[in-house]
Structure 1
Amino acid sequence: MTNKQILEIALRQSAEDNGCSAEDFLSDKNVVVPFKLGEKARKYYKEPITCNFVTYGNNVVAATSDEVADIVKEYVAKFEFDHCFETPNLNWLSERLEKLGHKVCFMAEYFLPDLDKMPELECPYATKILGPEDFKELYLPQWSNALCSARKELDALGIGAYDGEKLVGFAGASADCDDMWQIGVDVLPEYRRNGIASALTNNLAKEILKRGKVPFYCCAWSNIRSAKNAIRSGFTPSWVEVTVKPTEVVDRLNA
């Protein structure tokens, strides 16, 4: 697999997630399309989704419901595409959406592996490849980034770091769609800052690639520690998303 093939797979997946074409993300003009969650969309995408803004660094693709389509079209025409993902411009959008019962909900940055810069990282502790049969006793708060108790059936692969018999770090991969698996990683607090997270992330990514899948990594824009881990592990920033949902959904998340 090459970097070009990895990007093509990611673009096709984003198109499936939003109801557009992969080529839309490569245009030098902003694109607005009706939002449609495809049959092969990432499994953690749940409707209702009012609209979704995506950029791979060329433009903004906005997939929107009919209810807010006029606001979305005005928004992407008013601001430069990269400014559509930052304040104070998001405040302009939010003020108009709230009048119709919608709010900005999720903001995230996504990373893809850069095969030309994928380092060889060794973990300071012994490691072991783990499969779903090993996960049964690991659905615990300390491993909540590596595994998802709400979607256990998607947890496909993992790698653990052990201090003797003690699991001290764990990276897990979720089969969120047919061709792309998402990596999450956790390290016990007393074992952090010694290279465990990056080594586990890096080696799990390679195991995923061996299986013919594309590893990807996601974090909030403000999670500097997580973003640094992605970069140290051989990943590069690839796309960002802002998702709008009905107000009652957002308020429920804040309850």
Structure 2
Amino acid sequence: MTQQEILDAAMRQSAVDCSCSAEDFRRETNVVVESRPSADASRYLTNPNICALFTYGSNVVASCRGDLIPEVEAFVNGMPKHHRCFEPQGIYELNRILQKADARVTWMHSFYLPDLQAVFSAEVFCPYETRELHPEDFTDLYLPEWSNALCSSRKELDMLGIGAYDGGKLIGLAGCSADCAEMWQIGIDVLPEYRQKGIASTLTNQLARAIFEHGKIPFYAAAWSNVRSVKNGLKSGFRPAWAAMQAEKINK
């Protein structure tokens, strides 16, 4: 697998999520399309989209309800730079548009893809024993302290994990979810008293390598303000690839 193949796979999935073409993310002009339901959409998204904005760096692809298209199109094309759509002023304006849909922006993340050279040469070290875990090992681990690594509402998607142990005590856990056909998303948790010891980056990196061994592509997500998580992704061998923002109903 090459670096270009990894990026192409991510764009293919984003195209499914947005009801557009993968080539739309490479355009220099913004693209606004009507969102359509898809059984193959990423599991962490609400599908179809009321409104979702994606960028891989050259433009914005907006996927939204048909009745919102004129205003969303005016919004994204009215910004002086496409990335301004994701900044506070842009979010305030988008929320005004979304009022008619009884919706508002609920989350925004940066998404990271593995840099092959960085993942397989990362200098990470964990002073504790690590073990590979499988779905049968997760049964008793759906607890608040492991809520980033595992998802209790989508247990069937939790595929693989790497745990760190101090004696017999689980102190850190990286888990991955089969959120997409070709890609598994990594989440990481470390008990507070064991942080800043290299555990998170070691587990994240080991899990990324294991995911490749299973024939899938690892990916990682972090809120832009979660500096600790961003640093972990970078140290583990991941690099920024795209950003996404989604709106959901206010009163579900």
TM-score by length of 2: 0.95
In structure 2, C-alpha distance between the alignment counterparts of 1:233 and 1:105, rounded to whole Å: 28
SS at match of 1:16: helix
Q: Which runs of 5+ in 2 are unaligned?
A: none
Matched, 1:105 2:98: no
The answer to whether the 8 A contact 1:18-1:38 is kept is no
Q: Which amino acid aligns with 1:14?
A: S
Aligned-partner Cα distance in 2 for 1:145–1:92: 31
1:90-101 alignment runs, 5 A limit: 90-101=91-102
- The answer for the alignment partner of 1:173 in structure 2 is 176
Equivalent pair of 2:35/2:48 in contact (CA under 8 Å): no
Residues 144-177 of structure 1: CA distance to partner in whole angstroms, max 9, x if unpaired? 1111111111100000001111111110011112
Aligned match for 1:189, one of 156, 168, 192: 192
Deviation at 1:246, TM superposition (A): 2.5
Q: State, as a whole percentage, how many aligned pairs show the same letter.
A: 51
**Equivalent residues of 2:163, 2:174 under 8 A apart:** yes
* Contact 1:48/1:245 (<8 A) preserved: no
- Which aligned pairs between 1:18-97 and structure 2 lie closer than 5 A? 18-47=18-47, 49-79=49-79, 80-97=81-98
What is the rounded CA distance, in whole Å, between the counterparts of 1:156 and 1:47 in structure 2? 22
AA aligned opposite 1:223: N
CA RMSD of aligned residues (A): 1.3
Shift of 1:221: 1.5
Match of 2:15 in 1: 15
Name the TM-score, length of structure 1 as normaliser.
Answer: 0.94
> 4+ runs of 1 displaced by more than 3 Å?
none
Stretch moving more, 128-137 or 47-56: 47-56
Paired residue type of 2:92:
N
Query: Match for 1:218 among 216, 221, 227?
Result: 221
What is the match of residue 253 of structure 1? none
Hey, what's the Cα distance between the residues in 1 that align with 2:184 and 2:29? 30
Change (3 A) 1:228 1:37: farther
Deviation readout 1:24-77 (Å, 9 max, x if unpaired): 000111111111232211123234631110000010001111121111010111
Relative distance call for 1:37 and 1:124 in structure 2 (3 A) is farther
Between the two proteins, the alignment pairs up a number of residues equal to: 249
Deviations 1:193-233 (A, max 9, x none): 01000000011000001111010111111111111110110
Q: Give the distance between the partners of 1:75 and 1:106, measured in 2 at CA.
A: 18
| SS of equivalent residue, structure 2 residue 125 | coil
DSSP-derived class of the 1:5 partner: helix
Q: Secondary structure at the match of 1:36?
A: coil
Unmatched 5+ stretches in structure 1? 250-255
Q: Distance in 1 between matches of 2:71 and 2:244?
A: 18
Secondary structure of the corresponding residue to residue 116 of structure 1: helix
Q: CA deviation at 1:23?
A: 0.5
Residue 43 of structure 1 aligns to which amino acid in structure 2?
R
- Cα displacement (A) at 1:99: 4.3
Alpha-carbon distance in structure 2 between the residues aligned to 1:145 and 1:185: 6
Matches within 5 A, 1:117-196: 117-118=118-119, 119-196=122-199
Q: Secondary structure at the match of 2:251?
A: helix
Q: 1:203 aligns with which of 191, 202, 206?
A: 206
